[in-house]
Structure 1
């Protein structure tokens, strides 16, 4: 009995430049995905986008695009923003660009069906084949956090031997949009937390809003049936203690823009054990209450703008982590 072939995941493409739209359609086909929509954005409206049946959107539009804003708010499927500048086809950077693009699509869509493997001159590692993260930092934020954390990650290369857990006080409806929003203009691999998830180098795991988590002996995520204790979702205080328990001493925390004082006491415990706790500077934060509370308590060993903290992270890895490898 012949089995019905499994259709390849579908992608809808919006790109303002015709040449780039054509190239992206070709590359997506090489990967084994189906391009089901590839039109000029200038001729479309939101109602036409709503009628498209797809598994994901790939957008290459201007920052002020009304269509991009509408899709980010209303699309029921993942939206990937930006593919980066495309190198010359004959350059050694071109296969690397293809690999980065595939590594962003694969977590959202899964692998193409058997027999439709991507055609790339550089082998594409699967997420499970990436090196396990030896060093894990928590990026904690509340009001003004997404913009600050994005600026930090945009300024930080994704090939460093580090992974991040991103804890953001935010409405649950935006939890699954954070990877799409923050992954634009950088090569970090974002994913929403699931049971059994493990962190690998170059990854950013978004902490769940409604369900508390802890880590098993191998660093795997264990999702609780219970909500986070206390007033904050997720509870930065709890996550910091879990981070230290599982990944100490190769861990740290950065407290970005936000309201409230969630995590201050846990930052103190982390600081006492000699692990780095950094904070966004008050003048660069949209809301300085949360980082300032850690600073005033004497637990922050470094302050700076998101870009300055990214530079400090590179130096910390060079001086503290790579020396020990």
Structure 2
């Protein structure tokens, strides 16, 4: 698949509006966006953890992070994308061509896809209607990876992955989970749209919500409550944006984060599944959901993947 082979691009862009346009444009051109942020409040260790084929920078002249990338980055660095014309203007397509040409000079295998047209955005998942939360804590990465290794990436579903983990490991999760499967796993990018075949990693230190068209919206404040990220808050956000075509799977973990929100999903007729105690490294979190009466199915990660594949096929059948 082209998506699985597309070059990975990381953005360090100060202007939020420009960053959103670049995210839409680059994903529309077939590239994989693995990182997109402003330099404010970023640590050098966060940049070092990013695995990309190219960095695109648009930051003030005095920026220590951009200086480090220019001096030490093992991959090409593109300084600036040029002035971005309004999306409706005829010069916007010309700007896209110039940007793609610059990227093509720096990357060995740029994606071969048509240019976007003015005001044409990446297809919105809200029209495709299937987003599930994968929630986990202690023992979660191994369980979720087993689940993704079993479920074909062609399945008509996207995932938001909420993992209780130290913020220093957040940007390593896509590499950990993406080995040996074709899922496109990426860290959260402001304004990006969830597409089928993708797994969006919820940020640790910033709350994630979704806009009216299902686009990711990052807030400056932290997650409410004791857990980072908060399954409770994220489940409510997911239901508000994608219901009734969403669900949740609670994997191995400690604590009882998300139990009440799972109940609200079930009250609206949506699926909540849990990893079985016998297969979980820590069964406290999925067991709390089951004890509350909110789990509609349980099983090992492999069993849950096979069941979801069948469930999705049944849901799609009436529209086939």
Question: What TM bracket, shorter-length normalisation?
Answer: 0.5 to 0.7
**After the TM superposition, which residues 196-215 of structure 1 pair with which residues of structure 2 at under 5 Å, given as runs?**
196-215=191-210
**1:163-312 pair list within 5 angstroms:** 163-312=158-307
Indicate if the aligned counterparts of 2:124 and 2:213 stay in contact, CA closer than 8 A: no
* Corresponding residue SS for 1:200: coil
- Contact 1:31/1:112 (CA < 8 Å) preserved in 2? no
- The structural deviation recorded for 1:324 is 3.8
The equivalent of 2:16 in structure 1 is none
Could you tell me how far apart the structure 1 residues matched to 2:114 and 2:277 are?
Answer: 40
Contact 1:131–1:201 under 8 Å retained in 2: no
SS of the residue aligned with 1:139? strand
Pairs aligned (count): 229
Q: Please give the secondary structure, in 2, of the residue aligned with 1:253.
A: strand
In the TM superposition, residue 129 of structure 1 has moved relative to its aligned partner by 5.1
Question: Which aligned runs of 4 or more in structure 1 are off by greater than 4 angstroms?
Answer: 30-33, 114-120, 122-131
Aligned-pair CA distance for 1:187: 0.5
The 3 A distance-change label for structure 1 pair 282 and 217 is same
The alignment status of 1:155 with 2:155, answered yes or no, reads: no
- State the alpha-carbon separation in 2 of the partners of residues 32 and 157 from structure 1: 22
* Structure 1 segment 105-144 matched on structure 2, within 5 A: 113-116=102-105, 132=125, 133-144=128-139
Structure 2 portions without partners, runs of 5+: 10-44, 53-74, 76-98
Distance 1:125 1:178 in 2: 31
Q: 1:32 to 1:190 in 2, by over 3 A?
A: closer
Structure 1 residue 76: deviation in Å? 1.7
CA deviation string 1:104-157 (max 9, x = no partner): x9xxxx97844457669x956899756735210000000000000000000011
Rounded to whole Å, the distance in 1 between the matches of 2:101 and 2:293 is 51
Q: Tell me, what secondary structure is at the counterpart of 2:200?
A: strand
Deviation at 1:254?
Answer: 0.0
RMSD value, Cα: 3.1
- What is the deviation of 1:32? 12
Deviation per CA, 1:289-310, whole angstroms, max 9, x where unpaired? 0000001111001000000000
Conservation of the 8 A alpha-carbon contact between 1:32 and 1:112: no
Q: How does 1:93-112 map to 2 (within 5 A)?
A: none
Distance 1:111 1:287, change over 3 A: farther
TM-score normalised by the chain length of structure 2: 0.65
For residues 211 and 124 of structure 2, the distance between their equivalents in structure 1, rounded to whole angstroms, comes to 18
SS of residue paired to 1:217: coil
> Is the partner of 1:210 in helix, strand or coil?
coil
3-state SS of the aligned residue for 2:151?
coil
Task: Classify the secondary structure of the residue corresponding to 2:261.
Answer: helix
Structure 1 position 225, deviation (Å): 1.2
Instruction: Answer whether contact 2:49 2:172 (CA < 8 A) is retained.
Output: no
Distance 1:79-1:156 versus aligned 2 partners, 3 A rule? same
* Distance of aligned partners of 1:230 and 1:31 in 2 relative to their CA distance in 1, 3 Å threshold: closer
Please report how far the alpha carbon of residue 78 of structure 1 lies from its aligned counterpart in structure 2 after TM superposition: 3.5
- How many angstroms apart in 1 are the aligned matches of 2:145 and 2:46? 21
